[in-house]
């Protein structure tokens, strides 16, 4: 299923809103804080980059641009692949195995968070529903 927004500026806002919304879930927020690294995300088809700075231990900073220094871990994917993963249509493990998500750096830390995908899916679906871009969905615990 295609990503619901193709305008790069609107898409950027949606991605940033999603990253900020994950911090409203206390379990997700704690997991990101414990990660202890900077994570970069590149949405290649839209030419977007952003990140999360999880190095302070007490907060997570959403980076509106791709990190200037190479991040400890990075993921590169298309907007449609992101959408399929975070709506639960594509298993994140399969996405890595099929190489529709390309990685760089210490991806082991990110993979530790894969058990939290149902929570991430719920946050994403709820954000889409709140914006009138999809159905509100479960997936959280």
pLDDT digits 0-9 by tens, 118-137: 999 999 999 999 999 976 65
User: Strand order in 38-43's β-sheet?
Assistant: 61-63, 48-53, 38-43, 73-77, 102-105
The residue extents of the domains of the chain are 8-130
Q: Which residues of 41-80 are buried (b: 16+ CB within 10 A; e: fewer)?
A: bbbeebebbbbbbbeeeeebebbeebbeeebbbbbbbbbb
CATH number of 8-130: 3.30.1050.10
| pLDDT recorded at residue 57 | 86
pLDDT at 140: 41
pLDDT over threshold 90, residue 115: no
Q: Which of the 8 DSSP states describes residue 62?
A: E
């Amino acid at each position: 299923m295609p990503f619901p927004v193709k305008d790069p500026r609107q898409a950027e806002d949606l991605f940033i809103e999603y990253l900020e919304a994950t911090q409203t879930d206390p379990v997700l927020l704690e997991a990101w804080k414990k990660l202890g690294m900077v994570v970069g995300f590149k949405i290649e088809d839209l030419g977007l980059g952003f990140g999360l700075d999880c190095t302070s231990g007490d907060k997570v900073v959403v980076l509106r641009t791709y990190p200037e220094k190479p991040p400890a871990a990075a993921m590169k994917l298309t907007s449609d692949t992101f959408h399929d993963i975070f709506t639960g249509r594509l298993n994140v493990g399969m996405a890595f195995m099929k190489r529709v998500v390309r990685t760089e750096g210490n991806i082991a830390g990110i993979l530790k968070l894969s058990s939290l995908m149902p929570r991430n899916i719920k946050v994403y679906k709820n954000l889409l529903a709140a914006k009138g871009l999809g159905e509100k969905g479960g997936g959280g615990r």
